[in-house]
Structure 1
Amino acid sequence: MIPLELLNKLRRIKIRTSHLADDMLSGQYHTAFKGRGVEFEEVRPYHVGDDVRSIDWNVTARYGEPYVKLFREERELTVMLLVDLSPSQGLGTHYQTKRELVTELGATLAFSAIKNNDKVGLNLFTDGIEKVVPPGKGSRHVMRLILELMYCNPMGSGTDIKAALEHLNRTVKRRSIVFLVSDFQDDSYEKTLRIATRKHDVIPVVVGDQRELEIPNVGLVELRDAESGQIVTLDTSSRRHRALYAEHAKRVGEKRDALFTKLKMDPIHIQTGDDFVDPLRKFFHKREARR
């Protein structure tokens, strides 16, 4: 039986994210992603302004007046959420951790998918595959995904994006929309990511926290890597040390984003403490404009 506190938290996330999917993002989601193709639906009389290339000449000859063909999009898509659950996702120096932010984002994407009659599945990973939920439809299915995003207890202690993508490439045969959600604290995945982009529409979602980009002046501190366990003592009162920290973070981010550019991908950048709706909306607008 699910504890009352968990149920209340689950309801709050459902209400917020379902509302976002309904009122703000559902239409944009629909137009941002193409269906698998188009199929013939019916013919109707030609109206001024119709594309003359859609005229059905056989029907036109039969009735002695112009008729046009109408087509509809084959809509059903599969959306896969490929989500990093490594220990670094527990960082959060604002009112939420990266994992909490990812849970809300994943729930919003999942509700947007099912409201457009698409299927949505979930793969959780660290340095191994932690949990796989096959694609499905319906609100109950989305609630299961949210529960896994919130409370799956990962066994791994690192990040292996390459292994997660290899598993995706082996197990998901049908072309899918893949949201790869991670802080990308890994650098061995370029080749596998390139292969995945040939099979699927892969969208990187970069999840960050301000303290990963800059560190405040708080004196002598010990920093522990959440994944390797390595401890480093840093004098944050030193301008030079703070500058080196920020410069390293900048180089890592530029290298990652250069790879996305090379592979012609559209990354979404979100940060703890910020609203993810605006970056998501901008992404959908960009996709819609491209279509």
Structure 2
Amino acid sequence: MMGKKNDTAAKTYPPGVVITLEELMRYEYYVQDIPLLPQHPVYTILAGRHASKLRGRGLDFEEVRIYVPGDDIRNIDWKVTARTGETHSKVFNEEKERPTFVVVDQTTRLFFGSQQQVKSVVAAQVAALSAFYTVRRGDRVGGIVFNEERNDFIPSARSKSHVQHLLTRIADMNALLPTRTHIRPAPVALNEILHKTGTLVTHDYVVTVISDFSIANEDTFRYLQHIAAHNDVMLVHITDPLEAALPDGSLALSDGIRQVLWNNNNRHNGDRYTENFENMKSTLTERCRNYHIPIIFIDAGAEVSNQIIHFFGKTNH
């Protein structure tokens, strides 16, 4: 029922401001152009069944690692456990399901866009692609969609009707954004959700976090590192063209309280602004690489499915 309310409300806004459930459901057809068998599944936004270091019984012994609750006790390596004093499990290489857990940011900070769409709409589109691709591969998908005031947890399941349930939650929360009268500061919102995610996923999940990470801090990376210890984590960073470069000429910039005049040509302001953006991307990419967490940047000013397909093409080379 809530999905129908969202569809009615969204029609009162220009395209790209709010996304409807009907629009999100159409992304089922976009995933047909995405390769099913990427060569580097850990570095792809959408994961599926593939050979991986899974915690279970299989044909080929892969490694020994510290026991994780939920491991099959038949795989405990008693010799290593006795030698180290800490319980260890054997890991086997086996083709097995990789459930996907999607974390979707719908906070007020993402309700911004300078061209075709606001970032919150793009985040919803990426989530829809991830969900439909996962089910197409025969795997389960679930996740959390959140804003500053609430979060909705959707358990993992494997069906188109379940994807519709997940996308309904996303569309409903997306429709709330234009009703906000001001930005509500919530610097801990993302960190709280990552902490909750760490308690919900066990191991061998593919956790895709979709946000603009504008308020990421040390705690953010600590939670991500904790999740990545036993799962594959992927960050999808939503950006807007105006964050990369400001137009030439004089601009009045305001945060709603204070106002400053900006001119790109004065003292190389424009060059420094763009340089700061590129440095942010480089620093974030390098830091994620240190944690073995891949990150991709999605431009809200361009068509989302084409960017995803392009990314898959690069990972397959």
Same fold (TM over 0.5): yes
Would the aligned equivalents of 2:298 and 2:304 in 1 still touch at CA under 8 Å?
yes
Q: Figure out how many residues of one structure are paired with residues of the other and give that number.
A: 253
Shift of 1:96: 1.1
**What is the aligned counterpart of 1:193 among 215, 224, 240?**
224
C-alpha distance in 1 between matches for 2:240 and 2:138: 34
Would the aligned equivalents of 2:34 and 2:312 in 1 still touch at CA under 8 Å?
no
Structure 1 residue aligned with 2:25 = 14
Shift of 1:74: 4.4
**What is the aligned counterpart of 1:176 among 205, 227, 231?**
205
C-alpha distance in 2 between matches for 1:204 and 1:31: 17
Per-residue CA deviations over 1:140-188 (Å, capped at 9, x if unaligned) read 1111222222221479643433322211112222331011111111232
Structure 2 residue aligned with 1:88 = 109
Structure 1 residue aligned with 2:281 = 253
Structure 2 residue aligned with 1:242 = 270
Per-residue CA deviations over 1:234-283 (Å, capped at 9, x if unaligned) read 32354333334323323322221221121222212111121333443454
Change (3 A) 1:151 1:128: closer
Would the aligned equivalents of 1:128 and 1:164 in 2 still touch at CA under 8 Å?
no
Structure 1 residue aligned with 2:121 = 100
Would the aligned equivalents of 2:208 and 2:234 in 1 still touch at CA under 8 Å?
yes
- Amino acid across the alignment from 2:263: T
C-alpha distance in 2 between matches for 1:127 and 1:34: 38
Would the aligned equivalents of 1:122 and 1:133 in 2 still touch at CA under 8 Å?
yes
Taking only aligned residues, the RMSD between alpha carbons, in angstroms, comes to 3.1
The structure number with the bigger radius of gyration is 1
C-alpha distance in 1 between matches for 2:136 and 2:248: 47
SS of structure 2 residue aligned to 1:199: coil
C-alpha distance in 2 between matches for 1:33 and 1:91: 37
Residue 146, structure 1, aligned to residue 167, structure 2: yes
C-alpha distance in 2 between matches for 1:123 and 1:144: 12
SS of structure 2 residue aligned to 1:80: strand
Change (3 A) 1:110 1:130: same
C-alpha distance in 2 between matches for 1:254 and 1:128: 32
Would the aligned equivalents of 1:80 and 1:120 in 2 still touch at CA under 8 Å?
yes
Change (3 A) 1:244 1:262: same
C-alpha distance in 2 between matches for 1:220 and 1:276: 29
C-alpha distance in 1 between matches for 2:208 and 2:226: 15
Change (3 A) 1:222 1:121: same
**TM-score, length basis structure 2:** 0.68
Change (3 A) 1:287 1:176: farther
C-alpha distance in 1 between matches for 2:22 and 2:234: 28
Unmatched segments (≥5 aa) in structure 2: 12-19, 39-45, 60-92
C-alpha distance in 2 between matches for 1:79 and 1:233: 44
C-alpha distance in 2 between matches for 1:11 and 1:187: 32
Structure 2 residue aligned with 1:60 = none
**What is the aligned counterpart of 1:24 among 25, 34, 37?**
34
**TM-score, length basis structure 1:** 0.74
Residue 162, structure 1, aligned to residue 167, structure 2: no
C-alpha distance in 2 between matches for 1:13 and 1:269: 20
Per-residue CA deviations over 1:199-240 (Å, capped at 9, x if unaligned) read 21000111100101111135241332xxxx664423235433
Shift of 1:32: 7.7
The percentage of aligned residue pairs carrying the same residue is: 19
Shift of 1:287: 5.5
Would the aligned equivalents of 1:85 and 1:124 in 2 still touch at CA under 8 Å?
yes
**What is the aligned counterpart of 1:117 among 138, 152, 159?**
138
Residue 262, structure 1, aligned to residue 299, structure 2: no
Unmatched segments (≥5 aa) in structure 1: 41-71
